[in-house]
Amino acid sequence: MSDDFQNIRKKLLDITKKKVSESVSKDNMIINAISNVEELDKTINVLSGRLREWYALENPEVEDKIKDNEHLVSIVLDDSGEESIMGATFDEDDEKALKAMAVATSGLIQTKQFLLIYLEKTMKEFCPNVLGLAGVTIGARLLREAKSLRRMAILQSGTIQLLGAEKALFRHLRSGARSPKYGHIVNHPVVSNSKTVNRGKAARALADKLSMCARLDFFNGEYKADFYYDELKKKFN
Amino acid sequence: MSDDFQNIRKKLLDITKKKVSESVSKDNMIINAISNVEELDKTINVLSGRLREWYALENPEVEDKIKDNEHLVSIVLDDSGEESIMGATFDEDDEKALKAMAVATSGLIQTKQFLLIYLEKTMKEFCPNVLGLAGVTIGARLLREAKSLRRMAILQSGTIQLLGAEKALFRHLRSGARSPKYGHIVNHPVVSNSKTVNRGKAARALADKLSMCARLDFFNGEYKADFYYDELKKKFN
């Protein structure tokens, strides 16, 4: 009897250890991945801006027409290298150097897309409710600011509402500036699509449901994110 | 006779136009390329720093030993994916995401190297003397700050000495802070390898020769950079 008990105890301990280690590592994976996505985003902007400037020498007319940076990268990649009427002459080496920048930037765009797919897949297993209600980027950012799913599950919904607004919050505490109303969730459709007067209420309600999502996910509860989402949409959008 | 004159005039004009267009465009190529190299450098630092952080979860012992960021990128690329004793478990997806970041970063490192080779080749034709005395990165930066080889050729050597120190110079003019002694050329071996007391003199002499290099290059003069370089080394190093 005592042996049996010891056995069961050991097995439960092992399972717990495994769960803890898995959970710690998935939190960290998600946090690293979203920070990498953000860094890639910045980098893609800067490099495609530089590419735009360089390409404008050769093809000012086209550069002027394409406003979107990522679109411009693909234009440069496909460009046959004939200069336009107003453009400067690029020789073969210039052309290759410009293309090398376009290839590098396009590689970063692909890596970002790959990481977003990875994030979605990982979160679908690890925190399906947070993913379902918050979406990939807002969900991962909330997890990062909360430090882990475990901590997010025990945070009050008022705190979740402000995750991502830490700077503004401390400014408020220090200097009495206006207190922030919401952090990352300001970009969530439930908040951004609601009427201005309802935005505070919508943020509060969303944070409330997100807190429940984190708890459901941490304690392996059922999937209720879609249900919550519909509820919120009906109420605020 | 008048027809002949008109013909010659037209031909000369065409040659001049071509030369101007070529010269304008090479200046711009070099300026764009060096700015891209700098941007890539920053980006490689940031992304390999992020990669380091992520990789440390799986393999803290190795991460700790490799100080150089670019070296770490190649380690991650070659890593077989077995976690170390202290590391967290990475599943196949985690491994792929981490590798994707390493591939992207390594792509940027290669692009930077490619652009440096392109720069060297371009400058060897366009401004061999500036290249020979200043080196690729310092030479290209001086050209950028001077706006063009033509302008660099007419700048006083005292101005060349300060190219790249514009911020410190304006601070000096505005607030009476210490005036800067040198700009980009502070990183040149002739200056950085000279004794501290001689550094000002070395910078002045180097700027002087650089000014002559720019003139030689702009007016298609002979190649004298190596001769100047030896002279400066004998005097200051």
- What's chain A look like in SS3? CHHHHHHHHHHHHHHHHHHHHHHHHHHHHHHHHHHHHHHHHHHHHHHHHHHHHHHHHHCHHHHHHCCCHHHHHHHHHHCCCCCCCCCCCCCHHHHHHHHHHHHHHHHHHHHHHHHHHHHHHHHHHHCHHHHHHHCHHHHHHHHHHHCCHHHHHHCCHHHHHHCCCHHHHHHHHHHCCCCCCCCHHHHCHHHHCCCHHHHHHHHHHHHHHHHHHHHHHHCCCCCCHHHHHHHHHHHHC
Which of B111, B138, B119, B112 minimizes the C-alpha distance to A93? B119
Query: Looking at residues A108-114, what average pLDDT do you find?
Result: 96
Q: Do B121 and A93 touch (CB under 8 A)?
A: yes
pLDDT of B88: 74
What ranges do the domains of chain B cover?
A: 1-126, 127-237
Q: How many CB atoms lie within 10 A of CB A39?
A: 18
Amino acid at residue number B197? V
- The most confident of A24-38, B63-77, B215-229, by mean pLDDT: B215-229
pLDDT of B63: 81
Q: Is the pLDDT of residue B178 over 90?
A: no
* Tokens 């990522």, residue located: A70
pLDDT of B22: 58
Least confident interval from A160-169, B33-42, B97-106: A160-169
A35 touches chain B (CB under 8 A): yes
B133 touches chain A (CB under 8 A): no
Contacts of A36 in chain B (CB under 8 A): 47, 50, 54, 101
Contacts of A126 in chain B (CB under 8 A): none
Chain mean pLDDT for chain A? 90
Give the whole-angstrom CA distance, residue B212 versus residue B201.
17
Chain mean pLDDT for chain B? 90
A134: phi then psi, degrees, rounded to nearest 5: -90, -25
Give the whole-angstrom CA distance, residue B205 versus residue B158.
10
Query: Looking at residues A208-212, what average pLDDT do you find?
Result: 97
CB B85 within 8 A of CB A21: no
Give per-residue pLDDT as tens, A139-198: 999 999 999 999 999 999 999 999 998 888 888 888 888 888 889 999 999 999 999 999
B17 touches chain A (CB under 8 A): no
B113 touches chain A (CB under 8 A): no
Contacts of A94 in chain B (CB under 8 A): 25, 29, 122
The closest CB to that of A111, out of B40, B93, B101, belongs to B101
Residues 6+ apart with CB under 8 A from A203: A161, A181, A182, A185, A186, A191
Least confident interval from A26-40, A103-117, A176-190, B78-92: B78-92
B89 touches chain A (CB under 8 A): yes
How large is the ipTM? 0.82
pLDDT of A12: 82
Architecture (CATH level 2) of domain A1-126: Orthogonal Bundle (1.10)
Q: How far is B195 from chain A (nearest CA, A)?
A: 39
Give per-residue pLDDT as tens, B44-54: 999 999 999 99
The closest CB to that of B100, out of A29, A93, A111, belongs to A111
Pick the CATH number of B127-237 from 3.30.450.20, 1.20.1250.20, 1.10.246.90, 3.40.50.970: 1.10.246.90
CB A146 within 8 A of CB A160: yes
Chain B residue closest in CA terms to A108:
B104
* Tokens 């004939």, residue located: A82
B32 touches chain A (CB under 8 A): yes
Confidence of residue A85 (pLDDT cuts 50, 70, 90): low
Domains B1-126 and B127-237 fall in the same CATH topology: no
DSSP category for residue B180: P
Q: Do A46 and B54 touch (CB under 8 A)?
A: no
